[in-house]
Structure 1
């Protein structure tokens, strides 16, 4: 590769509690109104927290993913031949146990992972080349980084990256029992008084292509993936390094691959989940990379609006970032109560801001010290 040959995102589709489709997602994050409501999908009796960002009506995970992949392919203008040559990289929490509800009468709930990837590829007319990612909250961003690397070195021309998580009782119970969910029913990233995270639905798909393959068929360009980075800190099973070492290295790698200086970054869609320890660690990571300028780069975490979608978070937040860059406005960080000395950042709190540059980072982190950074640019 030219590792600096930017890769094109040519089609996207997203479903979240903000609505169905890219327009609904963009409008929701720019409005900045959190989508958290009482959970109706399953019984939350006895739970500390009883809210999440869920769609009122949703199909099985397999059906929702099929629809998202098909719509992203159509948005990218992929015909049957182009689809047949595309690989599928899928990030998801899993098969039947992750569905919102079992069909009445105990019918089929869909295939288990990794059979789900092959199932989706067949239904959507994609090639049989598939990968499945179940590496917690960096699953989708890792899939994008792998796709970009393989396209960049010429192994593939086109990859459909898809991700799905629908809020379900098992993970909900685990996060609630671990006291990770925000007892006050709001996600407040980087804010004083933040209490934790809240879960949210997300089913997302995008088409990533080499510049050559996209240009050959006159494909639209939603955004370019300019750089990506991954790093681990292996500091603690659940907590990131307090100084953000791993995340900082991931950001530095993304900048290096993109051939851009740190000063080129005009926005960070942060991983920030609203938990005290991890938000402070992320702020420290940004300080390590950007120095004194870290306090001048606009930052927000859109999890404050659409919730934490676990394995699907990285793809949802990537799509949010490219849509807002393309629109020229940066989304707010909802739930803000006031500054916290451990997070000395320029958090977008009042209203969307104009995007100062076409380049932005979207960051993700997972238990076990896994960290990813994707650097994207408006077309």
Structure 2
């Protein structure tokens, strides 16, 4: 079955970020236009390129935070125990760095998929369908697969969750690669940008067919109307300078949503604050949106809540839903002046009041992976 009844709607959402637990905390944090970066308290940072990240001090156990947001999303969606038992779980998460330190003979006995199965069982879900660890597009890839399952009629309901908490292994890795901003400010699309900063992000959504949600009287928060995935395989770390892969992902997402470039009312950009990424993403937006790129508001909320790696797509989906529902576009923080390679209509200084009907959320990962999601008003 195709058509409006197979629209993929979001009926439940819960999130944890450096601003706190819940969507209200995230919305209020974004509204202040002040970044959540602060000195890291989880480990010593004196030998690293910077000493700050966007972390929630009381969030120390990723498995517990995942359980919390999955339960919260299911509760908001109003799912009964029987309805939860019919829903599979798709999970995007960072592998436990402690596993990599064990002998090879022991690593195979602690598959990361086991953690997803444990989470699904603990939350009363049908089971773990798949676990994604493909870096910064893990969550958005999981969301895309869930949408395919629902629109294609394979499932009526899927729970998708993703999580990352700032850890020393990744902090050290990005520091060694000179990717962390040494001045402690993430300056997306700005002159003088010098790198990214990490941040906590844990979130979950309940996706359903519109017909399935209506049958049980659930009211959609938003619609996941389009999605696109594309690769460019240009470089192991750098994106294609012309943004070819991301532009294809955007085009695919717009086509699936049945939209034109001018229909997009806001872009939540990947915007890592690194020289190569931001210039390539700008090129992709201009290639995919054409003249509409001159007037479409853009911001990277990583400049506020940090880069949540595998959970980025899920955290930024939550941001996109909030922008749709409350008509407040978050700022592109840390901006220090224009860059000729990043000519976009950036949201600066304070949140911008608007009434977007469709939001485009972008993510990219090492190796040339690119994803685009279109989130629409219900």
Q: If the length of structure 1 is used for normalisation, what is the TM-score? A: 0.95
Question: How far did residue 3 of structure 1 move?
Answer: 6.9
> Once the two structures are superposed, what CA deviation does each residue of 1:13-41 show, in whole Å capped at 9, x if it has no partner?
00010111000001111221100000010
Q: Give SS of 2:249's match.
A: helix
| Distance in 1 of aligned mates of 2:40 and 2:363 | 26
Match of 1:223 in 2: 222
Match of 1:337 in 2: 336
Question: How far did residue 56 of structure 1 move?
Answer: 1.2
Q: Does 1:16 align with 2:11?
A: no
Equivalent positions of 1:165-180 (< 5 A) are 165-180=164-179
Asked whether the equivalents of residues 95 and 112 of structure 1 are also in contact (C-alpha less than 8 Å), the reply is: no
> Once the two structures are superposed, what CA deviation does each residue of 1:208-259 show, in whole Å capped at 9, x if it has no partner?
0011111111112111011000000010000111000000000000010011
Asked whether the equivalents of residues 116 and 128 of structure 2 are also in contact (C-alpha less than 8 Å), the reply is: no
Match of 1:296 in 2: 295
> Once the two structures are superposed, what CA deviation does each residue of 1:261-290 show, in whole Å capped at 9, x if it has no partner?
111001000001000111000000011011
Match of 1:50 in 2: 51
Q: Give SS of 1:27's match.
A: helix
Task: After superposing the two structures, state which structure 1 stretch, 279-288 or 36-45, moved more.
Answer: 36-45
| Distance in 2 of aligned mates of 1:181 and 1:49 | 7
Task: After superposing the two structures, state which structure 1 stretch, 40-49 or 228-237, moved more.
Answer: 40-49
Q: Give SS of 1:114's match.
A: helix
Equivalent positions of 1:23-42 (< 5 A) are 23-42=24-43
Q: Give SS of 1:154's match.
A: coil
Alpha-carbon spacing, 1:262–1:2, altered in 2? closer, same or farther (3 Å): farther
| Distance in 2 of aligned mates of 1:191 and 1:48 | 20
Asked whether the equivalents of residues 85 and 126 of structure 2 are also in contact (C-alpha less than 8 Å), the reply is: yes
> Once the two structures are superposed, what CA deviation does each residue of 1:77-122 show, in whole Å capped at 9, x if it has no partner?
0110110000100000023639xxxxxxxxxxxx751101100011
Match of 2:163 in 1: 164
| Distance in 1 of aligned mates of 2:374 and 2:65 | 27
Asked whether the equivalents of residues 95 and 116 of structure 1 are also in contact (C-alpha less than 8 Å), the reply is: no
> Once the two structures are superposed, what CA deviation does each residue of 1:35-71 show, in whole Å capped at 9, x if it has no partner?
0000010111211211000111124111111111001
Q: Structure 2: which 5+ runs fail to align?
A: 100-109
Asked whether the equivalents of residues 84 and 124 of structure 2 are also in contact (C-alpha less than 8 Å), the reply is: yes
| Distance in 2 of aligned mates of 1:59 and 1:199 | 15
Asked whether the equivalents of residues 329 and 353 of structure 1 are also in contact (C-alpha less than 8 Å), the reply is: yes
| Distance in 2 of aligned mates of 1:97 and 1:180 | 23
| Distance in 2 of aligned mates of 1:21 and 1:76 | 14
Match of 1:261 in 2: 260
Question: How far did residue 2 of structure 1 move?
Answer: 2.7
Question: How far did residue 129 of structure 1 move?
Answer: 4.3
| Distance in 2 of aligned mates of 1:204 and 1:11 | 11
Asked whether the equivalents of residues 361 and 376 of structure 1 are also in contact (C-alpha less than 8 Å), the reply is: yes
Equivalent positions of 1:154-303 (< 5 A) are 154-303=153-302
Q: Which runs of 4+ in 1 moved over 6 A?
A: none
Asked whether the equivalents of residues 280 and 343 of structure 1 are also in contact (C-alpha less than 8 Å), the reply is: yes
For this pair of structures, how many residues does the alignment match? 367
| Distance in 2 of aligned mates of 1:329 and 1:61 | 30
Task: After superposing the two structures, state which structure 1 stretch, 352-361 or 274-283, moved more.
Answer: 352-361
| Distance in 2 of aligned mates of 1:167 and 1:205 | 18
CA RMSD between the two structures: 1.3
